[in-house]
Amino acid sequence: MTMRSVAKFIVAVAVILGCSNAIVLAATPLANKGKAVNVVQRPILWTQNRENLIREYAQLHYGKNMTKIIPRAVVVHWTAAENGDGVYNYFYGETMPDDGGGTLNVASHYLVYKDGTIYQLTPETAMNRHAIGYNWCAIGIENVGGSEGEENLTAAQAAANIKLIKYLKSKYPTIDYVWGHYQQNEAKASGLFIEHVPDYYADKIDPGPIFMNKLRNGLQGIGLKFFA
């Protein structure tokens, strides 16, 4: 991803960290081959520093010199928090303390609120840090909810995820898989897992089987593979 493409993506608004409620954002339709979804553009901070951190992360974890991905999978998450604006503000920064895997901050491409509103945080082909072993090839969708491990994602979120994933599949025929973050081990059967940092791993429970079953039922017949 070039800085020029990022500049085209970022709308002309001043994003003030911690004051996101002051920003008035409007949904715009994204469409491809008849698959349409309403998405609000809400970009996180993206400078040359993030580009450099992405390249460093990719080299460390995957042995690849890259900042862009060719999407092969969609990984679905929950935020483990009920405040979507707080999650956005957490993703907004470019760095985080080094946990042994580098200082690139975590982020996903999309953030879905309880009411089903979809926010796009980064370009779809940007490499984001959201799923160990799969960031080099996966688009991430975060869903607000799941605090204390409660499977409380909404019907509106399920419907929004289904529409979004249908759109992504139509736009990127290279996407073959959809799985929940908790299915990271089963997903190794896809052959997509790469991780060069020894013992770099974290157990996950999100977004839970109830939500993933809803997505699986709503995404039949379009050539996607799931894990039980």
Phi and psi of 157, rounded to 5°? -65, -40
Query: CA–CA separation, 181 vs 92, rounded Å?
Result: 21
The domain limits of the chain are: 3-218
Kind and range of the H or E element at 38? Answer: strand 35-41
73-117 pLDDT, tens digit per residue, is 999 999 999 999 999 999 999 999 999 999 999 999 999 999 999
SS3 175: coil
Query: CA–CA separation, 68 vs 66, rounded Å?
Result: 6
Q: Which residue intervals of 120-193 are DSSP H helices? A: 155-171
188-201 pLDDT, tens digit per residue, is 999 999 999 999 99
Count Cβ neighbours within 10 Å for each residue of 158-184 and write b for 16 or more, e otherwise: bebbbbbbbbbbbbbeebbbbbbbbbb
Query: CA–CA separation, 173 vs 35, rounded Å?
Result: 13
pLDDT at 20: 41
SS3 213: helix
Query: CA–CA separation, 79 vs 169, rounded Å?
Result: 23
pLDDT at 28: 83
Query: What fold characterizes domain 3-218?
Result: Lysozyme-like (3.40.80)
pLDDT at 3: 38
- Which residues of the chain carry a pLDDT beneath 50? 1-24
Kind and range of the H or E element at 180? Answer: strand 177-180
pLDDT at 95: 98
Q: Which residue intervals of 110-191 are DSSP H helices? A: 155-171
The residues pairing with 225 across neighbouring beta strands, listed in sequence order, are 177
